Amino acid sequence: MTIQFNDETFRDDYSFSNSQRAKDRFPFPFHEDSYMYSINMEQHQGGPADSIYEKRFDVDEHYLAEMRDRALVLADDPLRCQSLPHMTLAGWDLLELIMVSKSEDYPELFELHRNGSKWHWINKPMGIEDHFVFMDETTLPYGPMEYITRQTQGDFCVLDQREDNLWMDAGMVTTQADWSLDFDIGMNFFEWHAPVPLAHEKGIFKRALKFLLSIQQGAPARRLNWTMTVNPLLDTSPENYHKWGVQKNTLTPENLGSKQHLRVELQTFFRLPRSNGLVFPIRCYLMSFQDIMAKPKWGRRLHRVVRDLPEELATYKGFIDNRPMMLDFLAQYDDGLPTSFGVWADEHSEPSLQK
């Protein structure tokens, strides 16, 4: 299929919007009417046709706008992209993984021609064409990780594996849910997850680490995570909190449907073959509350999840103050009918709103 790329922004006038196709393939993250942490991992080996799970690295209508936004963030703050000296090999691993995946999954958009170590990369949507020598940094305009992640949607944590732990030793992080690569760089798995409430007590991180350490070549995994964002902002970083934190106060009952967004992360995990590292891409999908309400099942369920979420989690996810106003809005779309199990909207079988 041909993707029509949106001309849109994630800042200032916020002209971001989702087409009907983007709304239909939005990864609504709640499989039942309540939410609690779980490891909820599954294999990342394709998925339903045209879903965000189908390809290894999903490319959608927001691609060019997201890459423009990333370039703006990096121009303001180069520390959003860092790679400790021992992580260059993992950077080449990542470049290879993405170039091979995208050229195989989207041959009409990306081409990779390899002749030994002489590589030729064509990115048609971005108008990029480069010849370079694989494993020779001097032949690319940036380091290998930065080069390829300036051309790929989502944040990237490139993790070193040693001492039975994972270490945040490289990354490209410009579309994050309020965490900082510059703060976390060099930390291990338990250290960078230290601020998360409730999950440590439940032993979630110990089990999650064990799972991640055993992810093998050719067998990537994935899960979803979520939070809330006022305005379709990609860069909700601690570095820029003074810019976006105050926007949470601009919410009114009238504008909430269009301003309040559910922010869903598709997190994937790939073993990197040459370095034995692990890459953890975090791809962000945004959808406004009013667009979610167009799917009756999602409307009913979102109300119940937000209503019943433990206070610690609503605080951690940054919407405790706005929760009453959100619930006033969401309650209009909950008629109390039961919902079907699973994340899909089931528009053909779920009844329309009965009020």
Partner 1 sequence: MNAPAPNSTAPKVVGAEKIKVVVSAIVPLNNLVTRFEFKRAGGGQFPTFSGGAHTVVEMQDGDFKRINPYSLMSDPADRDTYAISVRRDDQGRGGSLFLHQRVQVGATMTLSSPVNLFSLDLRARKHLFVAGGIGITPFMSQIKQLDAVHGNWELHYSCRNPELGSYVDELTSKHAHSVNVYYDDKKQLIDLENLLDGQPIGTHLYVCGPKGMIDWVRTTAAAVGWPDAHVHHEEFLAPQPGKPFAVRLAKSGLSVEVGEHESLLEAIERLGVEPPYLCRGGACGQCETDVLESEGTFIHRDHWLEDDEKSSGVKIMPCVSRFEGKTLVLDR
The binding site for partner 1 (CB under 8 A) comprises 27, 29, 31-32, 36-43, 47-48, 51, 53, 85-87, 89, 135, 160-163, 210, 214, 216-219, 222-224, 273-276, 342-343
> Whole-angstrom distance between the N-terminal and C-terminal Cα of the chain?
38
**Whole-angstrom Cα distance, residue 266 to residue 283?**
5
Torsion of CA 166, 241, 82, 96, to 10 degrees: 80
In sequence order, the β-bridge partners of residue 158 are 170, 279
Residue 49 CB, shortest distance to partner 1, in Å, is 12
What residue has token string 């209009």?
332
Residue 308 CB, shortest distance to partner 1, in Å, is 15
In terms of CB distance, is 233 or 281 closer to partner 1?
A: 281
Asked if residues 292 and 302 have their Cβ atoms less than 8 Å apart, the reply is yes
Residue 225 CB, shortest distance to partner 1, in Å, is 12
In terms of CB distance, is 87 or 230 closer to partner 1?
A: 87
In terms of CB distance, is 195 or 203 closer to partner 1?
A: 203
Query: Is 56 a residue of the active site?
Result: no
What residue has token string 């050229």?
103
Residue 244 CB, shortest distance to partner 1, in Å, is 28
77 by Cβ neighbours in 10 Å (0-12 / 13-18 / 19+) ranks as middle
What residue has token string 């089990």?
207
- What are the structure tokens assigned to 83, written together? 């790679």
Please choose, from the candidates 297, 298, 103, 315, the residue with its C-alpha nearest in 3D space to the C-alpha of residue 197: 315
In terms of CB distance, is 48 or 338 closer to partner 1?
A: 48
Residue 192 CB, shortest distance to partner 1, in Å, is 18
In terms of CB distance, is 222 or 323 closer to partner 1?
A: 222
In terms of CB distance, is 31 or 248 closer to partner 1?
A: 31
In sequence order, the β-bridge partners of residue 119 are 114, 132
Given the residues 56, 150, 223, 271, the one annotated as active site: 223
In sequence order, the β-bridge partners of residue 130 are 121
Please choose, from the candidates 233, 235, 231, 234, the residue with its C-alpha nearest in 3D space to the C-alpha of residue 256: 231
At position 255, the amino acid (one-letter code) is: N
- Upper half-sphere CA count for residue 5 (Cβ side, 13 Å): 15
Residue 47 CB, shortest distance to partner 1, in Å, is 5
Residues labelled as active-site residues:
223
